[in-house]
A and B are shown apart, each in its own frame.
Chain A
């Protein structure tokens, strides 16, 4: 099973700043990594798949990069609605696994 670790656990930023979130895999997942945003009381929402492809309707301020074992989600110019928990997930093979999440909260 591929284990995903995310850092930092919490990121405290102000609106307008840039958030840089990291996800590292215990072995190569090629580009088969996705990112999700989850707000309290809501289901997760797909932001990025295949490491860098934005899902339908996702604003351009969200971007993903990386391949192999190291991946980054960047949120430029944070909007108030971007403060949430972000999960990474891989499925280069079964089982599909998720990282523990990074909380982006308001400073």
Chain B
């Protein structure tokens, strides 16, 4: 059974880099044809796609965040990671890691982690 678990600091200072890791169990991040992604949700607001990575390593980013975002994958640890630089209070949100669905097309988000709350504050 697929399980995704986000981990990382819950508090990040302004101007620093937010770093989160998603550990996948019950599946392989290297599975052919699948995309893995990060989505966030500020408190009381809607969902915002941050970016996604294909099993091959190709990445896709939200243009509004692209200059600050890096998503990477480590098949040896079965994890993928998010780095968001130069954070401000506007980056305070619940961060979800996820697996896209269906295979090869990534037209939806089929599986979600439970989310981790990251607060940006000094």
User: Which positions in A face B, CB cutoff 8 Å?
Assistant: 1, 32, 34, 36, 43-46, 49-50, 55, 87, 89, 91-92, 94-101
Report yes or no: A91 in contact with B106, Cβ–Cβ below 8 A.
yes
| Interface Cβ pair total, 8 Å cutoff | 60
**Partner among B37, B48, B102, B112 whose Cβ is within 8 Å of the Cβ of A43:** B112
B101 within 8 A of A: yes
Chain B contact residues, majority secondary structure: strand
User: Which positions in B face A, CB cutoff 8 Å?
Assistant: 37, 46-49, 52, 60-63, 96, 101-102, 106-115
Chain B residue numbers with a CB within 8 Å of A1 are 63
Report yes or no: B108 in contact with A43, Cβ–Cβ below 8 A.
no
**Partner among B37, B47, B52, B107 whose Cβ is within 8 Å of the Cβ of A87:** B47
Chain A contact residues, majority secondary structure: loop
* Shortest Cβ distance from residue A64 to the other chain B in the assembled complex, whole angstroms: 11
**Partner among B46, B52, B112 whose Cβ is within 8 Å of the Cβ of A100:** B46
Report yes or no: A34 in contact with B108, Cβ–Cβ below 8 A.
yes
